[in-house]
Amino acid sequence: MNPKNVDRRTFFEATFAGAALACTASGADSPQLPRPAETRKGDMLYREFGKTGQTVSVLGVGGSHIGQVQSDDLAIKIVRTAIDRGVNFMDNSWDYNNGNGQDEIKMGKALRDGYRQKVFLMTKVDGRTKDLAAQQLDQSLQRLGTDHVELLQFHEVIRMEDPDRFFAEGGALEAFLNARKAGKIRYIGFTGHKDPAIHLRMLSLAKEKGFHFDAVLFPSNVMDWSFRSFVHQVMPVALQEGIAVQTMKPMGGKFILESKTVTPAECLQYALSQPTSVVIHGMDKMEYLEQSLDVVKNFKPLTQQQIEALAAKAKPAAMTGKFELFKTTNHFDSTAKNPSWLG
């Protein structure tokens, strides 16, 4: 039997199994979906992070937007205010903002003076080869001003061949495992925003290789509910396998708001109501941070009926594909614009 046919069959079996599970296990109130344990401390909510034993704030600071803040002082103020108010999850990536490094440099400055010890720090690398992934990680650590991150993620899994490159001989996984052995990272995850089928292929191949991802990151918003849905197709599989779920793009990089179908608060309430451990959100102004903190302070999970009503309101716009550009265009695909970053 052709091994490629076996891989293909395994992939589609996993895809259909995930889709079938989603039909019976989607939504915030479904008993079939394991929900991370949740605790409130003051005005902040915290949830368990998969099988890691870690607990993270439900709101995470998006690193890309920190890199876009013009003033270092303001960037530092946003990050430190978030931490002082209970946020402990920090997102970043080697390649944000066209690879200029400002996102990691500014966050690194903010994490001085004892703030580094208060957070769960995550970054991502693009390198598909062992050597390039290791090189990018070392650059990220230098920029962030730390000798380790809690979580390193294989970034932009947006092509069907990306899982193969990760697990290949001399591929990025070897760099990740070496980094974990050296104490540079604690946990391993992957990210992507293009198509749930690609995430499912990564999870299927990992299972075939006997490898367990600690975490996974994908978009979750009111339009994703109806269009190429990560929440329906990927989230059930990840949760059943004990993989920590992180979600991003609750407002689709502002484009969902431009549809005039939902408000910023509704976008966050929807994302927080899903069984994710953390919602990573870009906040490049103090007012955006304050608004987000206020949503978390007063948060009560939406009912299944409320979730479906929000999704229904957004569905006509969602089905056009015009507002989740990360799925339908290369607008958010940094590695498509810079293929040399892949190696």
Per residue in 79-91, pLDDT (tens digit) is: 999 999 999 999 9
Which residues are CB-contacts of 112 (< 8 A; sequence separation ≥ 6)?
Answer: 145
Q: Rounded to an integer, what distance in angstroms lies between the CA atom of residue 262 and that of residue 269?
A: 11
Judge whether 327 and 195 are in contact, CB under 8 Å. Answer: yes
Judge whether 204 and 160 are in contact, CB under 8 Å. Answer: no
152 backbone dihedrals φ, ψ, rounded to 5°: -115, 135
pTM, entire model = 0.91
pLDDT digits (tens, 9 = 90+) for 203-215: 999 999 999 999 9
Average pLDDT, the chain: 91
Judge whether 273 and 87 are in contact, CB under 8 Å. Answer: no
Based on its alpha-carbon atoms, the radius of gyration of the chain, rounded to whole angstroms, reads 19
Q: Rounded to an integer, what distance in angstroms lies between the CA atom of residue 63 and that of residue 280?
A: 9
pLDDT reading at 235 higher than 60: yes
**Confidence (pLDDT) at 113:** 98
Tokens describing residue 108 = 């690194």
Q: Please, which pLDDT band fits residue 32 given cuts at 50, 70 and 90?
A: low
Judge whether 94 and 64 are in contact, CB under 8 Å. Answer: no
Mean pLDDT of 238-250: 97
Mean pLDDT of 292-304: 97
Tokens describing residue 165 = 């490159």
Q: Rounded to an integer, what distance in angstroms lies between the CA atom of residue 247 and that of residue 332?
A: 16
